[in-house]
C-alpha cells in the first residue's frame, strides 16, 4: 500500500499548511483510502499537540425550552414538538452546585447552556455573578457559556467576569444554513464568534453532521473554523429526537467510517484545536466509538442537552482501555472507582431517549 498521501496529510497539517479542497474531498469520499492509515495520520497530529490526553466536558442545561428560534435540529426550538422538560433559568446556587459536581467528576471544562435568541443585559449581569462565584471557588478551572447571540459589549463584560470560552456553533455551512433555520442567519452566528474573538475569549464552535448537507458544506465549516482560529471544535452527529423537524431520516446513511473520516479532516485542517466528538457519538459510531479518540482529543460526559449519553463508567473505561489519560487533577482510576454502572438505554426504535427532570436538574 502506498502511504504517500497519508504522510502528506500529516506533514502538511503539522507544518501549518491548509489542505486544498481536493484533498479534503478525497478524505471524505475516496473509498480507496483505508481508514486505519487515515486515522493513524490524524493521530500523529493529535499526539503532537495533545499527547494521550482526553479533555472531558460536562454540560449544564441551565435553561430548557421556550426558545423563539426554529433551528430544525433542536428539541428546544419553537418548531419542535419534542416532549422535553421545560424550565426557566436555574438559580445561582443550583448552577454552582452543578459546577462542583462537574469538576468533581473529572471535567476540565464546565459548560453552561442557555436557551433563547441571545444574551440580554439582564442575563449578562446574572452570568457575571455566577461566573464570579464559580471562579472564586475554582480559579484554575475553565468555564464555557452558550447563550445565543452576544454583542461586542456583552462579550467584553463576560470576559472581564472570568469567562474562558464562548460557545456558538456554526452548525453547517453558509450555503446550507437556510435549510436548517429561518429565524436567524449564518451571518448572525458569525458575528457572535467575531465578538468573542475581539473580546479575547476562546471560541468554541462546531457543526452537526447529518442534516442533509453535502461534503462541500462539511469542508466549508472546517475551513471557516480554521480561519477563525477556533480553540475548541465540537463535532456533533444529528441526534434523532422525536418531534424535531429533522428526524432520523435526515441523517441519511451515516456510517462510522464516514464520521471518522470527518473527524480526521477536521483534525488535519485544525491541528492545534481541541476537537470534540460530541453529541451522537454513541448512537452513530456504535462499536467504532473508541476510534474517535485518535483524531479527537475531547468528549462530553453525562450526555447532552436533552438526550442521554452512555454511563460515565463506560466512557471513562473506554478512555482507559485505549491507553489514554484525562486532563484532570483526579486520577482516572479514582474516578472509575466512584462510578456505578446501571443499565442505560440511549435509543429505542432508533430514537433518542430524553433526560428526566432529575437528570436535568440534579442539584435540586
Catalytic residues: 67, 71, 74, 111, 144, 204, 276
Burial of 52 (0-12, 13-18, 19+ CB in 10 A): middle
Q: Which three cell numbers stand for residue 79?
A: 418548531
Q: How many other CB atoms are there within 10 angstroms of residue 340's CB atom?
A: 7
Beta-strand pair 347-348/165-167: unpaired
* Number of C-beta neighbours around residue 125 at 10 A: 12
Count of residues making up the chain: 364
Cβ atoms of 162 and 121 within 8 Å: the answer is no
CA distance 319 to 199: 35
- Phi, psi (rounded to 5 degrees) for 277: -85, 110
- Cell numbers 419553537 correspond to what residue? 78
Q: Is 114 strand, coil or helix?
A: strand
Cell matching residue 91: 438559580
SS3 30: coil
State phi, psi for 39 to the nearest 5 degrees: -65, -40
Give the integer Cα–Cα distance in Å for 351 and 178: 25
Q: CA-based angle 95:188:72, to the nearest 5?
A: 70
Amino acid at each position: 500500500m502506498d502511504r504517500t498521501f497519508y504522510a502528506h496529510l500529516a506533514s502538511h497539517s503539522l507544518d501549518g499548511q491548509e489542505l486544498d479542497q481536493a484533498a479534503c474531498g478525497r478524505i471524505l469520499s475516496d473509498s480507496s483510502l483505508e481508514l486505519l492509515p487515515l486515522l493513524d495520520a490524524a493521530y500523529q497530529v493529535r499526539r503532537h499537540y495533545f499527547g494521550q490526553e482526553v479533555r472531558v466536558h460536562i454540560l449544564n442545561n441551565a435553561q430548557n425550552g421556550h426558545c423563539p428560534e426554529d433551528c430544525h435540529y433542536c428539541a428546544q426550538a419553537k418548531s419542535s414538538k419534542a416532549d422535553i422538560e421545560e424550565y426557566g433559568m436555574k438559580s445561582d446556587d443550583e448552577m454552582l452546585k452543578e459546577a462542583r459536581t462537574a469538576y468533581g467528576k473529572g471535567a476540565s471544562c464546565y459548560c453552561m447552556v442557555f436557551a433563547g435568541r441571545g444574551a440580554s443585559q439582564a442575563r449578562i449581569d446574572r452570568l457575571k455573578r455566577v461566573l464570579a462565584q464559580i471562579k472564586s471557588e475554582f480559579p484554575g478551572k475553565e468555564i464555557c457559556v452558550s447563550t445565543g447571540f452576544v454583542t461586542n459589549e456583552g462579550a467584553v463584560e463576560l470576559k472581564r467576569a472570568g469567562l474562558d470560552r464562548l460557545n456558538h456553533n456554526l452548525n453547517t455551512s453558509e450555503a446550507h444554513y437556510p435549510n436548517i433555520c429561518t429565524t436567524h442567519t449564518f451571518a448572525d452566528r458569525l458575528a457572535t464568534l467575531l465578538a468573542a474573538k475581539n473580546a479575547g475569549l476562546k471560541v468554541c464552535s462546531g457543526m452537526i453532521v447529518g442534516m442533509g448537507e453535502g461534503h462541500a458544506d462539511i469542508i466549508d465549516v472546517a475551513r471557516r473554523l480554521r480561519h477563525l482560529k477556533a480553540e475548541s471544535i465540537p463535532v456533533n452527529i444529528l441526534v434523532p429526537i422525536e418531534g424535531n423537524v429533522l428526524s432520523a431520516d435526515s441523517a441519511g446513511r451515516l456510517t462510522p467510517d464516514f464520521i471518522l473520516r470527518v473527524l480526521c479532516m477536521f483534525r488535519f485542517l485544525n491541528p492545534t484545536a481541541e476537537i470534540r466528538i460530541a453529541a451522537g457519538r454513541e448512537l452513530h459510531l456504535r462499536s467504532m466509538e473508541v476510534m474517535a479518540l485518535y483524531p479527537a482529543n475531547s468528549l462530553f460526559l453525562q450526555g447532552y442537552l436533552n438526550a442521554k449519553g452512555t454511563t460515565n463508567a463506560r466512557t471513562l473505561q473506554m478512555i482507559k482501555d485505549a491507553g489514554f489519560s484525562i486532563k484532570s487533577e483526579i486520577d482516572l482510576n479514582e474516578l472509575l472507582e466512584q462510578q456505578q454502572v446501571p443499565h442505560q438505554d440511549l435509543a429505542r426504535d432508533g430514537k433518542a431517549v430524553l433526560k428526566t427532570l432529575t437528570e436535568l436538574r440534579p442539584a435540586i
